[in-house]
A = this chain, B = another copy of it.
Amino acid sequence: MPRQKHSNSIYALILAGGTGTRLWPRSRRDRPKQLLPLISTRTMLQETTDRILPIIPADHIFVVTNEGFVETAREQLPDLPAKNIISEPEGHGTAPSIGLGGLYIEKLDPAAVMLSLHADHYIEKADAFRQALLAAAQVARQGCLVTLGIKPNQPETGYGYIQRGELIETLGDQPVFRVARFLEKPDEAAAIRFVESGEYYWNSGIFAWRIRTLWEEYARYQPRLFKQLRTIGRDLGTRRGRATMARVWSKIANETIDVGIMERSQRVAALPIDVGWSDVGSWATLLDLLPGNRENNVVVGEHVGVDTLSSLIYSPQRLVATVGLKDIIVVDTEDAILVCPKSRAQEVRHIVETLKQQSKHKYL
């Protein structure tokens, strides 16, 4: 596989909108996961940008995010042109977001290959990941929608899966498969079957395509959205741009790229990768990702433990003291504390729901 560096025709869009609830109390409505330093001293958005800068120049990197996060994203990414941080007045799912980013990239280079990434993913092996992105770009040039499929290391029920079809080609040692189908989050029995078969990958939501291919598929499978995007694109950068965007965007229907395009397209290819990927979907993931100490505890902050094992102590401000705990998550913030067994980390969203029901807005 030929190594490509700073190919002028590769652009990246980083999706940095949305607010999750499963990393509460650290992530809040006004400061979601992607804008927080969770894994290192850099925020996840910064990590995502840092990770691709060796292969994509800063002015080829775009970020789409909620209107309210634009300023913070610009502060966090001073090397990117300010105009590359694109504001969504409101979120309508990934299909409109990706389309919006595509309009900006198309303006610079109609022949561009576009990578679409999420701002809140963790990648352990950055170099292998960059190689995979370059390979994906190369496949994309042939007119495919390319998705990176994560080789599963456990029967995870929290992710969607991709079933591979026949082998299309091999770039170096990187196989490329046709995609047989996309599958929603499975139950455990199905997940076990998927992993054992070796034919299924986690759907990472990381894609590569030519802008031209993308528009063809939008026109075919999302004609209304495609028309709305074209209207926005027509006025982009003109005096009418802002007004057109405001008017059209509010009428766009919610749609994800997976359901709206990928599951319907006949031109999808998958590149299986094994790069230590995680969507950092809960505090339990963080406990798995971060390096543990002698007692297998992951400690951010100050901790004194008596017989405490395999626990996450996330408390940058205050001392946490524990006795007799195992597989427990303790997260402290300025105004709220979470205590939860690792096995139930997904249920943290119920806490957030309860806070909403109780109108405790200051904690959201």
Interface centre among A338, A345, A355, by most chain B C-beta atoms within 10 angstroms, is A338
The 8 Å CB contact of A337, one of B320, B340, B350, is: B320
Residues of B within 8 A of A67 (CB): none
User: Once the chains bind, are B337 and A330 in contact (CB under 8 Å)?
Assistant: yes
Known A-B contacts A304-B358, A358-B304; the reply to A323 vs B351 at CB < 8 A is yes
User: Once the chains bind, are B319 and A339 in contact (CB under 8 Å)?
Assistant: no
Q: Is A321 an interface residue (CB 8 A)?
A: yes
Q: Is A251 an interface residue (CB 8 A)?
A: no
User: Once the chains bind, are A360 and B319 in contact (CB under 8 Å)?
Assistant: yes
The 8 Å CB contact of A319, one of B304, B330, B363, is: B363
Bound form: Cα–Cα A245–B351 in Å: 59
Bound form: Cα–Cα A336–B338 in Å: 14
Interface centre among A25, A332, A337, A358, by most chain B C-beta atoms within 10 angstroms, is A337
Summarize A's interface: helix, strand, loop or mixed: strand
Closest CB of chain B to A152's CB: distance in Å? 26
- Complex copy number for this chain: 2
User: Once the chains bind, are A322 and B338 in contact (CB under 8 Å)?
Assistant: yes
Interface centre among A24, A307, A320, A321, by most chain B C-beta atoms within 10 angstroms, is A321
User: Once the chains bind, are A324 and B337 in contact (CB under 8 Å)?
Assistant: no
User: Once the chains bind, are B318 and A339 in contact (CB under 8 Å)?
Assistant: no
User: Once the chains bind, are A336 and B321 in contact (CB under 8 Å)?
Assistant: yes
Known A-B contacts A318-B335, A337-B318, A337-B332; the reply to A354 vs B323 at CB < 8 A is no
User: Once the chains bind, are B320 and A336 in contact (CB under 8 Å)?
Assistant: yes
Bound form: Cα–Cα A324–B332 in Å: 17
Closest CB of chain B to A286's CB: distance in Å? 16
Q: Is A12 an interface residue (CB 8 A)?
A: no
Residues of B within 8 A of A204 (CB): none
Closest CB of chain B to A331's CB: distance in Å? 9
User: Once the chains bind, are A323 and B350 in contact (CB under 8 Å)?
Assistant: yes
Closest CB of chain B to A350's CB: distance in Å? 5
Residues of B within 8 A of A339 (CB): 320-323, 325, 328, 330, 339
Closest CB of chain B to A302's CB: distance in Å? 8
Q: Is A344 an interface residue (CB 8 A)?
A: yes
Chain A 29-50 near chain B by CB (<8 Å), digits 1 or 0: 0000000000000000000000
Q: Which residue of B lies closest to A346 (CB)?
A: B323
Q: Is A165 an interface residue (CB 8 A)?
A: no
Q: Which residue of B lies closest to A306 (CB)?
A: B350
User: Once the chains bind, are B354 and A340 in contact (CB under 8 Å)?
Assistant: no
User: Once the chains bind, are B25 and A321 in contact (CB under 8 Å)?
Assistant: yes
Residues of B within 8 A of A322 (CB): 338-340
Further pairs besides A304-B360, A330-B337, A330-B339: 16, Cβ < 8 Å:
A304-B355, A306-B350, A307-B344, A315-B337, A319-B363, A321-B337, A321-B339, A321-B351, A321-B355, A323-B348, A323-B351, A324-B340, A324-B343, A325-B339, A325-B341, A339-B339
Query: What 5 pairs between A and B have smallest CB-CB spacing?
Result: A323-B340, A319-B336, A324-B344, A321-B351, A323-B347
